[in-house]
Amino acid sequence: MLDPDQPDWIFREQSHIGIVCEDIERTMGEYGRLGYTFALREGEMTLRRPGLPAQDPFRARSAWSLQGPPHIELGEIADAGGEPYLWPSRGHDHVEHVGYWVDDLAAASACLEGLGFPLEATPAGDDTRPLGFCYHRTPSGARIELEDGPMRKALLAEQFARVRSGDTSPIAYTAFKR
């Protein structure tokens, strides 16, 4: 049984470091010089943000390093989605969050909320549970991303196999639907 007074079970497995970038191809090239290879994803996404009205869909581009964990996640998402922007542009790339794989996304998210780390965003679905991933804020302002470990690891394995086979074309976002 999960003990909400002992949230160490949430932070057992770091998945990635999230970086918001202004130009994903440039940033992939820079990290490529350091030996990283990426699976590029793109597509439309809509988020649910508690306390805010329905959000507009937006085009998201992200890339995950095949090297890891922890992986490097690049997101070309600055000033995307509804205002206030979840990822405001700073005019330069910046580390934006730390991600963790969890076995029970809803329970982990509820635990963080109960400890005073509010849910900030999750992909929009047909109910109020987190879907695929979710962001929480620490009381001092840092962002933590929780990811549905079983679902996301399987998805990444497929995407990484595709890139390793030589297909580096963008992968369409198809997850995050109930």
pLDDT digits (tens, 9 = 90+) for 31-60: 999 999 999 999 998 998 998 888 889 999
pLDDT in tens, 4-33: 667 778 888 999 999 999 999 999 999 999
Q: What is the pTM of this model?
A: 0.90
Give the lowest-confidence range in 2-16, 30-44, 118-132, 149-163.
Answer: 2-16
Residue 8 DSSP SS3: helix
pLDDT exceeds 50 at position 116: yes
Compute the distance between CA of residue 154 and CA of residue 159 in angstroms, rounded to an integer.
Answer: 9
- Segment 63-99, tens digit of pLDDT: 999 999 999 999 999 999 888 999 999 999 999 999 9
What DSSP string runs through 23-90? -HHHHHHHHHTTT--EEEEEEEE-EE-TTSPPPPPEEEEEEEESS-SSEEEEEE-TT-SSSSPSS---
C-alpha 77/C-alpha 86 separation (Å) is 9
Instruction: Using DSSP bridges, classify how beta strands 38-45 and 171-172 pair: parallel, antiparallel or unpaired.
Output: parallel
Q: Give residue limits of the domains in the chain.
A: 9-165
Task: Give 9-165's CATH code, choosing from 1.10.579.10, 3.30.70.1520, 3.30.420.280, 3.10.180.10.
Answer: 3.10.180.10
The SS3 of residue 15 is: strand
What are the backbone dihedrals phi and psi of residue 18, each rounded to the nearest 5 degrees, phi first? -95, 130
Q: How confident is the model at residue 3 (pLDDT cuts 50, 70, 90)?
A: low
